[in-house]
Chains A and B, each alone.
Chain A
Amino acid sequence: MEQSQAILTGTPMPFCPGCGHAPSVISISKALIELGYAPNDVVMVSDIGCAGLVDPLFNTHTIHGLHGRAAGIAFGVTHGLNDPSKKVMVILGDGGATIGLQHILESARRNANMTLLVLNNLIYGMTGGQVSGLSTNEFKDDRHITDQTPPFDVVRLAHEAGAAYSARVTSHKNFVEIIRTAFTTPGFSLVEISSLCQPYGAAKMSELTAWTEEEEVYTNKRSELPPPLIETHSLISDKNVIVPRFEAKIGKRYGIILAGSAGGGIQAAGKLLANTGLISGLEATMKGEYPITIGTGFSVAEVILSRDAINYTGLVHPDLAIILTNDGLEKIKDKLSPDTKIIADSKLQLEGYSNVVYLEFGKIGGKKGAVFSALTYWMIKEKLIDKEALKGAAGNHKYSESLLNTMAKMEEHILAEAN
């Protein structure tokens, strides 16, 4: 007992007389001492409730957090320490084990190096003896509680989730040995310790034995996973830098909307157009909008090009709208103004707009290339951006070959039209 002073402070037990938590605490400290742990080798994380009163008893590092979350915080502690010579242990009650079940299962699944000690007295003691998810039907029968839902078996749950070691212990004579085995098992271990509660639960050992599940022990073969430490590299490098090498005739802010359908290369075209602006010495912004689901519905890209720095990135009325499908048209038609230049696929009909050029972009460029053929058309006709700049930007693109082919087809088409 004198030895245990090293782990325990000697502060009087804060529990009710005859509380089962006192022998549990003494057994935990005995197991630690037998294994040679010094107080500073141990981090004790306590939960809320009667089981959470233990902090002042322990001479170790202590952490006292929220109800049910002790296993969560301990997960971070053990991975942060990453030191097998330290013992991270959690003391919680049956209430904490059920409100925080996810943290227990997750820690077991990941085989976090820690020991959970669930002091199960069958009830919420601090709040007046309400039943918990670990209250057994035998206990509830005795209290004439009509709810006959069977309790969780937290020992088996931890086992199924992958705990290296999980056990229930009800007999005092087995406490130290079972706790010690849990402490010496590398990885995740859980021990459910049956506990008396004088005011609300089992007041005698005979009651406790009658009302709790049988003792049981489970093991899983787990190899300890070291926390992933990754060597990483800067996200920002000279590779991201684009050096202007073309000229553009765009001065003040020029807003472009590309509107089509999913799978039509709209987002890739938006990025390419913004990059085309950059290599033409302009400032650029680009944002995409599409439904959360992939591969269906509209796809819209907004690009702003400007000689000056761009602040506001919204596009109230675009200067140019390239519209390729009905999905796209429906999405953006409210943004079109009489001043918007509109380039649309010839299968579309835009009622009430005079400033529209129709061409069979889908036929010329194909499903994915339609937007590029339309952009090529615009560049050749308007000459605000050098089409060679688009080729330059496309040169680094993973589909650069098909992009260049699409552009060539459009150039041929325009030549043929002119002739």
Chain B
Amino acid sequence: MIITESLVRSGADVFIGYPITPSNLFYSYGQKRFPSFYAAADEISVLQWMSGFSTTGKLPVTATAFPGLALMVESLNMAFMMELPMVLVIVQRMGPSTGSATTGAQGDLALLNGIISGGFNIPVFCPSNFEDGWELAHKCVKTAVEFRTPVVLLTSKEMVMTNKSFDLSLLSEITRVDRSTKAYSGEYKPYLMTEDLVPPFVPVGDKTRQVRINSSTHDMMGAIKKANPESLGNTIRLRDKFEKRIDELVEYAIDTEDGADQLIVSWGISVDAARDAVIEYRKKGKKVALLTVKTLLPVAQEIIEIMESYKELIFVEENISGQLKEIIFGKRNYKNIKQVNKIGSMIAPDEILKELA
């Protein structure tokens, strides 16, 4: 409810849904709250319809779980290449495949990391509590518009289906994201190379400016061009626009104290257990820090540097391999990196305390 409300207040105006557990609350809130709502025939249609709406200047949203995301992959690559603003809310459930529809998980980060062919990232934001949900839903819309890109809000079953008392006064005011076309000089080019690496957006159907939107390798005009310097430059820009402006994307929270050598690193639903573990551990007079990563992708150097400033890292993730750990440090095991991993139910504070001690 909080995420849906924040998305709409930020300017998201079309919800396109295909029902899948455990994302159905978004579908029903989307139907209630968005000015336009469409029920698509499958998840490929969802992404295609969203892309069509996005070319006309709308800001579409959908919500799904892994099986739906899997169907969207090719279309998501298309929307990424076309540079179309949109928001995908992914509600993680336990896999592989259809897995357990009503069991939570944090198993889709590795897929999201490699989801764009060629080593590109789409921004992935991940709330660790309701307040984050409110702030990051806004951040998703803002990023989608300002970077002309699909953006993922990565949640999980336990995050969106557990009722929790919440103080509404904690919610900041949300302003609508500005959709007006940025200033540019000369002839309008839909994929103009600009200083901020994001071309000015003009909707298709514009009276005076011709808009060409293209999913294949293209030049600045949006015309298909096989690997010439201009079109290759355009493709490389799709990585650079995030990597070089990562400071605008990075979100995290650090709870630390002087003399803490151990750093718990967590994201999403597991952060709640980590928070309790930190409280318990400190009650025993021990020192510990907690890093809550909220911008999961692209990985910011700033976040890695925080990790490297501690002697021991404990990655806490509800998946079988430690997906964030592997994205940052690879598959190699390091003596000073511990992991708390689990599937089938949420990681409990005691399980983290065991690794801390």
Q: Is B75 an interface residue (CB 8 A)?
A: yes
CB contacts between A and B, total, < 8 Å? 196
- The proximity string for B residues 9-27 relative to A, scoring 1 for CB distances below 8 Å and 0 otherwise, is 0000010000001000000
Q: Is B262 an interface residue (CB 8 A)?
A: no
Q: Point out the residues of chain B lying under 8 angstroms from A103, CB to CB.
A: 45, 48
Whether A79 pairs with B38 at a CB distance below 8 angstroms is: yes
Interface positions, chain B 206-246, Cβ under 8 Å from A, are: 206-216, 222-224
Q: A83-B205, A236-B5 are in contact. Are A285 and B163 (CB under 8 A)?
A: yes
Give the docked Cα–Cα distance between A103 and B43 (Å). Answer: 11
Q: How large is the interface on A (under 10, 10 to 19, 20 to 34, 35 or more residues)?
A: 35 or more
Whether B215 pairs with A65 at a CB distance below 8 angstroms is: yes
Q: Is B2 an interface residue (CB 8 A)?
A: yes
Q: Is A75 an interface residue (CB 8 A)?
A: yes
With both chains docked as a complex, state the minimum distance between the C-beta of A188 and any C-beta of chain B, in angstroms.
Answer: 14
- The proximity string for B residues 339-356 relative to A, scoring 1 for CB distances below 8 Å and 0 otherwise, is 000000110111000000
Give the docked Cα–Cα distance between A274 and B164 (Å). Answer: 9
Q: Point out the residues of chain A lying under 8 angstroms from B301, CB to CB.
A: none
Contact of A77 among B35, B56, B214 (CB under 8 A): B56
Q: Is B115 an interface residue (CB 8 A)?
A: no
Interface positions, chain B 31-48, Cβ under 8 Å from A, are: 32-38, 40-42, 44-45, 48
CB nearest to B58 among chain A residues: A80
Whether B211 pairs with A55 at a CB distance below 8 angstroms is: no
Contact of A313 among B48, B54, B272 (CB under 8 A): B272
With both chains docked as a complex, state the minimum distance between the C-beta of B342 and any C-beta of chain A, in angstroms.
Answer: 11
Give the docked Cα–Cα distance between A286 and B166 (Å). Answer: 12
Contact of A312 among B168, B212, B349 (CB under 8 A): B349
Q: Point out the residues of chain A lying under 8 angstroms from B272, CB to CB.
A: 311-313
Q: Point out the residues of chain B lying under 8 angstroms from A282, CB to CB.
A: 165
Q: Is A405 an interface residue (CB 8 A)?
A: no
A61, A86, A230, A242 pick with most chain B CB within 10 angstroms: A61
Contact of A62 among B164, B203, B213 (CB under 8 A): B213
With both chains docked as a complex, state the minimum distance between the C-beta of A39 and any C-beta of chain B, in angstroms.
Answer: 7
Give the docked Cα–Cα distance between A106 and B75 (Å). Answer: 18
Whether A314 pairs with B56 at a CB distance below 8 angstroms is: no
Contact of A61 among B14, B58, B204, B345 (CB under 8 A): B204
CB nearest to A253 among chain B residues: B276
Whether B48 pairs with A286 at a CB distance below 8 angstroms is: no
Whether A235 pairs with B33 at a CB distance below 8 angstroms is: yes
Q: How large is the interface on B (under 10, 10 to 19, 20 to 34, 35 or more residues)?
A: 35 or more
Q: Is A292 an interface residue (CB 8 A)?
A: yes
With both chains docked as a complex, state the minimum distance between the C-beta of A318 and any C-beta of chain B, in angstroms.
Answer: 13
Give the docked Cα–Cα distance between A251 and B211 (Å). Answer: 62
- The proximity string for B residues 95-123 relative to A, scoring 1 for CB distances below 8 Å and 0 otherwise, is 00000011000000000000000000000
Contact of A80 among B57, B161, B208, B223 (CB under 8 A): B57
CB nearest to A291 among chain B residues: B102
Q: A106-B41, A231-B35 are in contact. Are A66 and B75 (CB under 8 A)?
A: yes
Q: A64-B215, A231-B35 are in contact. Are A72 and B276 (CB under 8 A)?
A: no
Q: Is B82 an interface residue (CB 8 A)?
A: yes
Whether B208 pairs with A40 at a CB distance below 8 angstroms is: yes
Q: A63-B55, A229-B35, A232-B8 are in contact. Are A76 and B50 (CB under 8 A)?
A: yes
Give the docked Cα–Cα distance between A194 and B8 (Å). Answer: 46
Q: Is B155 an interface residue (CB 8 A)?
A: no
Contact of A59 among B29, B158, B171, B210 (CB under 8 A): B210
Q: A56-B223, A79-B53, A312-B275 are in contact. Are A240 and B168 (CB under 8 A)?
A: yes
Contact of B162 among A43, A59, A287 (CB under 8 A): A287
Whether B75 pairs with A61 at a CB distance below 8 angstroms is: no
- The proximity string for A residues 167-192 relative to B, scoring 1 for CB distances below 8 Å and 0 otherwise, is 00000000000000000000000000
CB nearest to B162 among chain A residues: A287
Whether A283 pairs with B165 at a CB distance below 8 angstroms is: yes
Whether A65 pairs with B78 at a CB distance below 8 angstroms is: yes
Q: Point out the residues of chain B lying under 8 angstroms from A233, CB to CB.
A: 33
Whether A313 pairs with B158 at a CB distance below 8 angstroms is: yes
- The proximity string for B residues 138-170 relative to A, scoring 1 for CB distances below 8 Å and 0 otherwise, is 000000000000000000001001111100100
Whether A230 pairs with B35 at a CB distance below 8 angstroms is: yes
Q: Is A210 an interface residue (CB 8 A)?
A: no
Q: Is B273 an interface residue (CB 8 A)?
A: yes
Q: Point out the residues of chain A lying under 8 angstroms from B209, CB to CB.
A: 40
With both chains docked as a complex, state the minimum distance between the C-beta of A275 and any C-beta of chain B, in angstroms.
Answer: 9
Whether B33 pairs with A312 at a CB distance below 8 angstroms is: no
Q: Is B70 an interface residue (CB 8 A)?
A: no
Q: Is B74 an interface residue (CB 8 A)?
A: yes
Q: Is A227 an interface residue (CB 8 A)?
A: yes
Q: Is B300 an interface residue (CB 8 A)?
A: no
Q: Is A60 an interface residue (CB 8 A)?
A: yes
Whether B34 pairs with A232 at a CB distance below 8 angstroms is: yes
Contact of B212 among A61, A77, A86, A228 (CB under 8 A): A61
Give the docked Cα–Cα distance between A311 and B280 (Å). Answer: 12
Whether A76 pairs with B51 at a CB distance below 8 angstroms is: yes
Give the docked Cα–Cα distance between A74 and B48 (Å). Answer: 8
Q: Is A32 an interface residue (CB 8 A)?
A: no
Interface positions, chain A 263-322, Cβ under 8 Å from B, are: 271, 274, 277-278, 282-287, 289, 292, 310-314, 316
Q: Point out the residues of chain A lying under 8 angstroms from B193, CB to CB.
A: none
Q: A80-B56, A316-B348 are in contact. Are A311 and B210 (CB under 8 A)?
A: no
With both chains docked as a complex, state the minimum distance between the C-beta of B97 and any C-beta of chain A, in angstroms.
Answer: 16
Q: Point out the residues of chain B lying under 8 angstroms from A223, CB to CB.
A: none
- The proximity string for A residues 35-66 relative to B, scoring 1 for CB distances below 8 Å and 0 otherwise, is 00001100100000000000110011111111
Q: Is A81 an interface residue (CB 8 A)?
A: yes
Q: Point out the residues of chain B lying under 8 angstroms from A66, CB to CB.
A: 48, 74-75, 78, 215
Q: Point out the residues of chain A lying under 8 angstroms from B48, CB to CB.
A: 65-66, 69, 72-73, 75-76, 103
Closest 7 CB pairs of A and B: A76-B52, A72-B48, A80-B56, A76-B49, A311-B272, A77-B52, A80-B53
What are 20 A-B pairs at a CB distance below 8 A? A43-B204, A60-B210, A64-B224, A65-B51, A65-B215, A66-B74, A72-B48, A73-B49, A76-B56, A77-B205, A79-B52, A228-B37, A229-B36, A234-B33, A236-B2, A278-B165, A292-B101, A310-B165, A312-B349, A314-B346
Name 16 extra pairs, CB < 8 A, besides A60-B210, A311-B276: A63-B52, A63-B82, A64-B224, A73-B48, A77-B53, A79-B52, A79-B53, A227-B36, A232-B35, A233-B33, A235-B4, A274-B165, A277-B165, A286-B163, A292-B101, A292-B102
